[in-house]
Amino acid sequence: MADEADEADGSYTKRRKDQMMFKQIQPKEPFTVANQIQRTLLSGWINILLLCCPAGIVLGVVVGPSLPTFFVNYAAVIPLYWLGDFAMTEIGLRTGELGADPTLHLGVALAVFLATTVLLYFCVDYVVNSIDTLTSKSGLSTTFVGVILLPILNCDFTPVISAICDEMNATMDYTVGKSIQTALLVTPLTVLLAWWLGIEGVTLVFDGFEVVSLFATVLLLNLIISEGKSNWAMGVLLLADWALVAIAAFFVV
């Protein structure tokens, strides 16, 4: 009876561990401050642009909206997104479903994610506040800035890395899923939030250029993914579609 009770307790404990959101998965290397800083800052070559982060915040506070403020903070946002995505991946490794060992300890990963979120708030705010200065001094249209320049900041490297690793199903699921989430959740929620805050001009009213561009892109993507397979030529088609939209936004709109 005692053996059966111990076996039952062991099975229950195992089920509880399997049901936990975060499992006790730790990096193979012991925790040291130097090691964690190295793993964080050397997680990608693009982190060299983190030097723009303090410079951009100083420009935003001292100079205010200007071309240097826009471009320096623009450069700072890219590695911050990368670092935040890296921290989220490290946190996600604790679920035990990604099949890889983490390199950061959980507390460090959470701290990095929170820090990048706060810094992103300031840098993105300075970028957005400098858009009017950029369009007035450079001659770029607000459509080009909103459709081409700003989305580059939100470029996610996760599907790119997955594609390099020949995990095309994960790449397509992630990319298409994120696009659907943006179209059906983020955009309407942003409009509702703007109405609640009394911010004018944030609507779901699209002009002809935006409607045609969106329709053509969705149609092209549907034709590509409907076959359930892809190759380099389809990737070139998508890049060509993006280039055509960029050229039209720059010269026509």
Q: What is the mean pLDDT of each run of 10 residues along the chain (253 residues)?
A: 51 50 63 80 82 92 90 91 83 65 81 92 91 86 84 74 72 79 87 88 81 85 76 82 86 69
- Give residue-wise pLDDT tens across range 32-62: 778 888 888 887 788 888 899 999 999 999 9
- Give residue-wise pLDDT tens across range 102-145: 778 888 888 999 999 999 999 999 998 998 888 888 888 888 88
Average pLDDT, the chain: 79
Give the residue carrying structure tokens 């001292």: 62
The Cα–Cα gap between 145 and 159 comes to 24
The Cα–Cα gap between 110 and 104 comes to 10
Helical H runs in the chain?
2-19, 33-41, 52-62, 67-92, 106-129, 131-138, 142-144, 150-153, 158-164, 168-181, 187-197, 208-225, 232-251
Q: Which residue pairs, CB below 8 angstroms and at least 24 apart, start in 156-159?
A: 156/81, 156/85, 157/44, 157/82, 157/85, 158/85, 158/89
The Cα–Cα gap between 97 and 107 comes to 20
Q: Are 77 and 127 in contact (CB under 8 A)?
A: yes
Single pTM value for the model: 0.73
The Cα–Cα gap between 201 and 151 comes to 19
